[in-house]
Amino acid sequence: MAFVFVLFPLVFAGVAFLIPSNRLRPWTLPAAGALHLALSVYTVFFRADLLRTNGWLMLDAPGKLVLLVVSTLFFFCSLYSVGYLRLRENRGNRVFTCCLLLFLGMAGLVVWSHHLGLMWVAIEATTLSTAPLIYFNQNKKSLEATWKYLVIGSVGIAIALLGTYFLAYSTVPSGMKPTLQMDELLACAPGLSKGWFRAAFILLLVGYGTKMGLAPMHTWKPDAYGEAPGVIGAIFAGGVTSCAFLAFLRIYQLSAAAGEGDFTTKILLFMGLFSMIVAGLFILGQKDFKRLLAYSSVEHMGILIVGLGIGGPALYGTMLHVATNSMTKGVLFLSAGNIHRAYDSKNTDQVHGAISRLPFSGILFLAGFLAITGSPPFGPFVSEFSILTGAVSGGKFVTAGLFLLFLLVVFIGMGQTVLSVVQGRAPAGEIPGGYRDRFSTVFPVLVLMGVTLLLGLVIPAPLQNILKEAVVCLGGKA
């Protein structure tokens, strides 16, 4: 079954490449997205017997969650892309469409990989397939952002490869057979060489942390998110980062099985909190609202790492936050893309009064801001509150205090920028390009907002079960 998730998006990419019409080609995206989402739901909830293919390919609970998150986000982004690309008929979309489908296939390989070497290859493939998407606008800034993403991402993934070698070698001093298969590593985890494993953990945190956009390895993110189309920003912030986080979760599983919790906790808490405060400081006074969302992503990657650092009682909230953050980032980036198009600017000096010019996109952008900053009754409030509760119940009061303080800094900074965008009177004159809210570019955002709200009000029982399975898989208690 795993091969289906990898191969059929590649088939759709081949079909998209061969379609000569710029107008028809984008429809391959929602076709592939709908099929992928249907297969994901069917496989995860109805065919547990298909979850293991062999020792290298397996879908465990964290993989199930990320598969559902990426598939759901991709589907709604693909619906949005049809309307978006129709507005950009002056720009060829062959590379755009094919690269998005290639990413979907490689994301499928990431979630199914239960061999750390294969997983590394899949993560690198997501980098290569998404890099051309940043250059869609084909200007000097987007070219610079693309190269920055490739160079910094390649350095990070090279460090992750070195960490993978160290991890394999950590089995040797104890006389065990070198392996990168997760089942075998988990079985022999208590016997791994502590020195080699700790070095591997740090290298893999830096390597996959670069891909996630953790501070201080986040420097590619503001440029890439700021210059890419809004729909690509949503794919990066909710899809690419979730895949990278899943890759690091494999290493976290091993650290728990190896009894290295005391060593990893301090590192994870420091890196997570550092990422949150760096993001908060750059958000304060930020006038570019797309770069603002990039720093928000840096913050939320820090929140995920803090949740892992707290461990135990915070793991449920951490896994839930993977879903709530991804859905909310979809709302923010897609609505921000609509606002950018209507004003032909990302700067708050030119962009204000968005609610009066674009009522739906402006309101959704404001609602997305409230959600992503942890306001009730939206999903991120529940996940962040669960992480905070885990810190308090675990006796980590300093962490809990800093966590709240940094969330407040981000709320103030984001609020200043977002309110500047949505409030006030829209500039007089004609709308650049004549863009107004339309069904094709608003409906997907509205549904994602509904999902974000639903996750704050009630978590469906099937998803609840997956979250609990994921917690147990990571060494916590259901």
Angstrom distance (rounded) from CA 121 to CA 421: 41
**pLDDT tens, residue by residue, 401-448:** 999 999 999 999 999 999 999 998 877 766 655 688 899 999 999 999
Residue 4 has pLDDT above 90, yes or no: no
**pLDDT tens, residue by residue, 334-364:** 999 999 999 988 999 889 999 999 999 999 9
Angstrom distance (rounded) from CA 2 to CA 355: 44
**pLDDT tens, residue by residue, 165-206:** 999 999 888 777 888 999 899 988 899 999 999 999 999 999
Residue 477 has pLDDT above 80, yes or no: no
Angstrom distance (rounded) from CA 212 to CA 322: 12
**pLDDT tens, residue by residue, 54-76:** 678 889 999 999 999 999 999 99
- Quick one: pLDDT at residue 51? 64
Closest among 303, 292, 459 to 365, alpha carbons compared: 292
Burial pattern 32-52, b for ≥16 Cβ within 10 A else e, equals: bbebbbebbeebbeeeeeebb
- Quick one: pLDDT at residue 89? 84
Residue 457 has pLDDT above 90, yes or no: yes
The three-point CA angle 125-127-133 to 5° equals 115
Residue 134 has pLDDT above 60, yes or no: yes
Would you state the torsion angle of the CA atoms of residues 71, 8, 3, 77, taken in this order, to the nearest 10 degrees? -10
